[in-house]
Structures are given as structure tokens and as C-alpha cells.
Amino acid sequence: MPTPLVPNDLGTILQTTLADANTACGGFIALMVGPNTTRWGISLHNILKTYYAPLLFRPHLFFTRGLRLLFGDQVMFCRRNDFWGCGGFDTSLSIFEDAQLCLRLLDYGRIRLVNRIVRTSDRRVAKLGVFRANAIYFYVGILWGLGIPADYLKRFYQDIR
């Protein structure tokens, strides 16, 4: 149920966000929705996580280089040359490859959260329940921040289709 990008979003990407030579990567605000509900609390937490995760785990990069951690459901975007220049997604990672990409893209500029909303599916939360899903998100996030390998973290983050 992802929201497709519309021409205004593409204009925002090209004319404002990536027009700034000091910006390497951006992403939108993801609003988690399902057929019968909008997950406002989780959506708010995901927005805040963009800021507090790097502040807790990489404060030096947060303050000096503008690190923000974006995730795939935020419709991440960057310049093609920057993407390939930093090595692109690390396909050996089973989880957090998007956060790792943000860390590598810092060599090309700041990471920005753009004030535009996209919808993302709530299927994981619907399947696991709000409490369990949030506990898993929090747990794997803390472990990732502490440097636990992605292969171990993947055990807690099953694929739900």
C-alpha cells in the first residue's frame, strides 16, 4: 500500500533537497496505515527515531555531519553517483542495510528528512500486534546501535508478506 510519488514530490527531491550540494540523501515521513487504521503512535516513533537513533549511537556524526538514519519505508533517495560511489546497498546485510547506507552516504553530505508524507503498510504490526512489533523494533534497534551483526538481528525480524 505504498503511496506512489507524485510530480510535486519529484520536484521537492530535485529542486530543493538534492539541489543543495551539502545534502547526500533524503527521505520522506512514513505514515503507517492499514485497511482499517492509521498507526499514529508508531508513525510518530519512526519519525523521532530518525533523529534519536543517531543521537544515541553516533552523537559525533549527528552533531558534526548531520547524520539522520532513514529506513526503506521512508522512500530514501540520493544522487546516483553518490549511491554507487559509496558502494550502494550492502547486499550481504539481511537487515539495516538502509541505515548502513546512510552512514556511508555521510561522506557525500548530510541526510535529511523531507516534510512530505508517504504511506507504508502496517502488515507487520497487524500480524504481530502493536506491543510485540514495537518491542522487536526497539530491541533490534538497540542491538544494531551496539554493533550486533545483522545476521543475528534478522532472527527477530521475520519477513511478513
Evaluate whether residue 161 is within a structural domain.
Answer: no
Evaluate whether residue 1 is within a structural domain.
Answer: no
At 43-76, the pLDDT tens digits run 998 899 999 999 999 999 999 998 999 988 888 9
Instruction: Kindly give the confidence (pLDDT) of every residue in the chain, 161 residues in length, as a single tens digit, with 9 standing for 90 and above.
Output: 455 555 566 766 777 788 889 999 999 999 999 999 999 999 998 899 999 999 999 999 999 998 999 988 888 999 999 999 999 999 888 889 999 999 999 999 999 988 888 899 999 899 999 999 888 888 998 999 999 998 898 888 776 65
Q: Are 134 and 106 in contact (CB under 8 A)?
A: no
Q: Are 30 and 74 in contact (CB under 8 A)?
A: yes
Evaluate whether residue 2 is within a structural domain.
Answer: no
Evaluate whether residue 110 is within a structural domain.
Answer: yes
**Calpha distance 96→139 (Å, rounded):** 13
Domain containing 87 equals 7-156
* pTM: predicted TM-score of the whole model, two decimal places: 0.85
**Calpha distance 55→95 (Å, rounded):** 20
Question: How many domains does one find in the chain?
Answer: 1
Evaluate whether residue 87 is within a structural domain.
Answer: yes
Evaluate whether residue 75 is within a structural domain.
Answer: yes
